[in-house]
Every structure is written in structure tokens, then in C-alpha cells.
Amino acid sequence: MGNAVVKSYCEGIRIMPNQKAVVLLSGGMDSATLLYYLLDQKWDVHALSVHYGQRHSRELIAATDIARAANIQHEIVDLRHIKRLLKGSSQTDDVPVPEGHYEDPSMKVTVVPNRNMILLSLAAAMAIGIGAKTVAYAAHAGDHAIYPDCRPEFVGAMRTVMELCHYDGGVELRAPFLHLSKATIVKTGLRLKVPYESTYTCYSGRERPDGTCGTCVERLEAFKLAGATDPVEYEAKETK
Ligand SMILES: [Zn+2]
């Protein structure tokens, strides 16, 4: 599928007041921003979070806090047993979490095998169950270097599959941040008053983020580029 086609599928979200959408809410800053973005567009948002045995399950507490603050319906599904199948990733297996830049090739070890297809499948099923026609997820341009299941080609292909997964056109997949940088997401979120202090991004899963893993580095960089300060308290003081 050509990029132009994928782009037209995914850019922007039409304003359809009170239409139901399921958003995959990880507890991180991208999906929290997406949630507020959809609410700002007057969507009737229902959130889904999944415990798949991730090291950073601390993010599920963050997801709960974010959904509560936004006063929306939130499902957390416990699928910890599938961790047995998700081998080779630092996030689900006994593999050290790498430090360094988010786009460094060493970060490939943080890829959870086929995670987003699994999560999007569940979101599609939930959407059908509650009569929603749309699933939204927060893949963005910064993810493309390392994460195959965040790339435009993947999103376009999943969109096709999800349209075919049920009667009457199935479910529409939207990824409005697909071509945006994380700094632009931060700027958007600050405008929408996303409670970034409640979000959790770190791969370590420790109570306080370390400020040194790839995703912490990326987050801090995004705030800096956006000309803002990350309100989250970090373990390490020598953060970039
Ligand atoms: Zn970290």
C-alpha cells in the first residue's frame, strides 16, 4: 500500500459529535493525549487497557488515573498469561531494558512481538460489542524507526483488516498522530490540558521513571522541544 493512500486514511479525525470510539490507553503520554484530543472533538470515548504481562505494568495505574480524571468508561483486561508467548522483548521477558536514545537500533529489544495487532484486535472486538464504529490509537512518527507495528504501512493494513472483521463495514481505525512528532503531541496535549503528571512512560516499570531508558529520553526530549517542562518526577536527577 502506498504511503499517500495510508496518509489519507489516517490524518485527522472528522468531527462527529457523540460518536463512540474505543481508544487504546496505555497510560503513556501519547495515548493520554489522544484521549483528550478525541474528547475535545466531542467523541464519546471508551478506553481499553490491557495487562499483557508487561514489565511496565505501572502504566496501568496511570491509565486508570487518566481515565478517571477524564471521567470516561475504562476497561482493563487481564491477559497476563499471554506473556508466555511474548518472548525476546525486554518488556515481557527476562531481557535487560536498554538505555540510550529511543531511535537507537539497540531499542529493538523493547519491541513486544506483534503487540499492537493483538491490542488492536481486542479494541476492535470491544468496539463491536459496545456499538462503536471507530478504534483510535496513538502511533506517531517517532515510533516508526524501531516499532514495525506503529508504521504507516502497518496502520493501513490493519485498517483494511478491521473494516473486514465484522458486518456492515467492521470498525474504522484512526491514528491521527501517525505523522506527528512527539514534540507536536506534547504541544497539542498542553493545549488540551492533558494531566501529564499522571502519565507513565518508563520501560523500567519502577514507581518513579528512571529518566534514562529510551522512552524516558524521548519523552524528556519532546517536552524540551515543545518548550515545556515535564511535570513527572524522575528517579535520576541528571536527566537530559
Ligand atoms: Zn525510563
How confident is the model over 147-183, as pLDDT tens digits? Answer: 899 999 999 999 999 999 998 889 999 999 999 999 9
CA 218 / ligand 1 centre spacing (Å)? 9
- pLDDT at position 10, please? 43
The grid coordinates listed for 217 are 529520553
Q: According to the model, what pLDDT value does residue 24 have? A: 98
Instruction: Identify the helix (H) or strand (E) that includes residue 46.
Output: strand 44-51
User: In 10 A of CB 236, how many CB atoms?
Assistant: 12
Instruction: Place 202 in a pLDDT band, splitting at 50, 70 and 90.
Output: very high
Say yes or no to pLDDT of 1 above 80: no
Residue 219 alpha carbon to ligand 1 centre in Å: 9
214 CA distance to ligand 1 centroid (A)?
Answer: 7
Task: Give the distance (Å) from ligand 1 centre to CA of residue 205.
Answer: 8
User: Is the pLDDT at 32 greater than 70, yes or no?
Assistant: yes
* Cα gap 107→42, rounded to integer Å: 36
Q: Are 230 and 220 in contact (CB under 8 A)?
A: yes
Over 60: is that where the pLDDT of 90 sits? Answer: yes
Tell me the CA–centroid distance for residue 70 and ligand 1, in Å: 25
Ligand 1 centroid–CA 5 distance in Å is 35
**CA neighbor of 206 nearest in space, from 57, 86, 25, 67:** 57
Q: Cβ–Cβ contacts within 10 Å for residue 40, how many?
A: 14
How far does residue 92's CA lie from ligand 1's centre (Å)? 15
The three three-digit cell numbers of residue 146, written as one number:
524501531
Task: With a cut of 70, say whether residue 26 has pLDDT above it.
Answer: yes
Task: Report the largest interatomic distance among the alpha carbons of the chain, rounded to a whole angstrom.
Answer: 54
Instruction: Output the pLDDT for position 5.
Output: 36
Give the Å distance between the CA of 74 and the centre of ligand 1: 25
Cell of 142: 517517532
Average per-residue pLDDT for the chain? 89
Contact 121, 159 (CB under 8 A): no
- Model pLDDT, residue 200: 96
Instruction: Please list, residue by residue across 56-88, b when 16 or more beta carbons sit within 10 angstroms of its beta carbon and e when fewer do.
Output: bbbbbebbbbbbeebebebbeeeeeeebeebee
Work out the average pLDDT over 73-100: 90
How far does the centroid of ligand 1 lie from the alpha carbon of residue 203, in Å? Answer: 5
Kindly give the distance from the C-alpha atom of residue 66 to the centroid of ligand 1, in angstroms, as a whole number. Answer: 19
Model confidence over 93-121: pLDDT tens digits?
Answer: 888 888 878 788 888 888 889 999 999 99
Selected residue with higher pLDDT from 7 and 169: 169
Place of cell 507536536: 184
